[in-house]
Structure 1
């Protein structure tokens, strides 16, 4: 059995994150600090700060069916802790109502993807919708480098086809902070648009997001 120890006092925060959250409200902690609050303890070889960082990275790079297996691979997690994290995420998803939320304009999808702007590498994400433009799912298709995420139409549309989605919105973050599309972004968008037409799926938009802004191919007349 692993020897869990309380180690919030080692975080270097004065006062600690529990006290700050009680003082300022549950919206105060960042993502890693929320994970620290959920798990409560680290292990002898994996302090809570390090564990929370690894869990956060895994959450941001895993799709739903991969999440629990990937969390279990982290030293200090195990099945019970992986289930705790997955359950917390599912509860938040249900309460927030991401599924069946209607997307009528590019800006409507931004709140569901904004957390990817905090990632140091590019994440390519797809959002699928039904005929009423209600969200069916959001999925990470690819995680790349600081300025590139490799994608292939096969991976981009696999989930949309299996869900019988009527439409798809593609999105990726620009860690560099520049919100304008690169030549590669423009070329890949044209390819994805052609693939969507062949599959009978509406290619609704390709959106680039940064911490401060977003760029919509649709709004700029590039679709």
Structure 2
């Protein structure tokens, strides 16, 4: 960024590559448009993202207003953008019957330099309910607890879960740790009755589906 008020490079790259290019924090930067001298836009967006990802929606306004430099105006701008997206993203075709169906909704994570571990929840008709970043960084993924995943799915009344993460190195094949993490997390379905439908590894040019390769543990 050239300065805290103008994310010029981000705007240029987004215009060139499309709106699937920015990550979640950068999308917030585009909505904000500027930061303050004490709180540059990049740091402000990071704090806003933490609130959105870790707090109940009914507390978002209060939490956002408490961030340095945000205030009521910027907080409402963020919440209005989220509400607008929710209203206009009720696409009856957003149904996941095969791995390729979910790729368009998560492909932007393949651009990230760090591993992003993401949960997609679906209802009984396999329509996408939510897409949530659970953690960032391979080490954090290794210690992720089933309760952290399935607890959120229960709150959302989900009927199924799809896990996905990116491989920044460009190779989609799962590592031994990926296989073990999938096995460990799949045990949560036995406790809560919410099936793990797939674990998809994505890169810029390819993907790997545990379901398609017969590596997905089953809950019985």
Q: What TM-score do you get using the length of structure 1 for normalisation?
A: 0.73
Is contact 2:34–2:41 with CA below 8 Å preserved after alignment? no
Aligned residues: 208
- 2:181 is matched with 188
- 1:151 is matched with 144
Within the candidate set 116, 132, 144, 2:109 is matched to 116
- 2:45 is matched with 55
Within the candidate set 179, 185, 192, 1:199 is matched to 192
Is contact 2:96–2:126 with CA below 8 Å preserved after alignment? yes
Q: What TM-score do you get using the length of structure 2 for normalisation?
A: 0.74
Is contact 2:64–2:71 with CA below 8 Å preserved after alignment? yes
Is contact 1:197–1:203 with CA below 8 Å preserved after alignment? no
For the structure 1 residues 37 and 192, does the alpha-carbon distance in structure 2 shift closer, same or farther, using more than 3 Å as the test? Answer: closer
Query: What's the CA shift string for 1:113-155, capped at 9, x where partnerless?
Result: 2222233322222112121111222222222x36652311110
Is contact 2:4–2:37 with CA below 8 Å preserved after alignment? no
- 1:211 is matched with 204
By how many angstroms is 1:63 displaced? 4.9
For the structure 1 residues 186 and 98, does the alpha-carbon distance in structure 2 shift closer, same or farther, using more than 3 Å as the test? Answer: farther
Is contact 1:207–1:214 with CA below 8 Å preserved after alignment? yes
Q: Tell me the SS of whatever aligns to 2:187.
A: helix
For the structure 1 residues 63 and 117, does the alpha-carbon distance in structure 2 shift closer, same or farther, using more than 3 Å as the test? Answer: farther
By how many angstroms is 1:189 displaced? 0.9
| Structure 2 residues without counterparts, runs of 5 or longer | none
By how many angstroms is 1:108 displaced? 1.0
| Structure 1 residues without counterparts, runs of 5 or longer | none
By how many angstroms is 1:180 displaced? 1.4
Is contact 1:119–1:175 with CA below 8 Å preserved after alignment? yes
Q: Tell me the SS of whatever aligns to 2:56.
A: helix
By how many angstroms is 1:160 displaced? 1.8
Query: What's the CA shift string for 1:153-196, capped at 9, x where partnerless?
Result: 11010022233322111112222322111111101111222321
For the structure 1 residues 70 and 202, does the alpha-carbon distance in structure 2 shift closer, same or farther, using more than 3 Å as the test? Answer: same
Root-mean-square deviation (CA), in Å? 3.6
Counting only pairs closer than 5 Å after superposition, residues 48-197 of structure 1 correspond to structure 2 as 50-52=40-42, 54-55=44-45, 58-59=48-49, 62-63=53-54, 65=56, 71-72=64-65, 74-97=67-90, 101-143=94-136, 145=137, 149=141, 150-197=143-190
Distance 1:148 1:177 in 2: 20
Q: Tell me the SS of whatever aligns to 2:88.
A: helix
Is contact 1:133–1:167 with CA below 8 Å preserved after alignment? yes
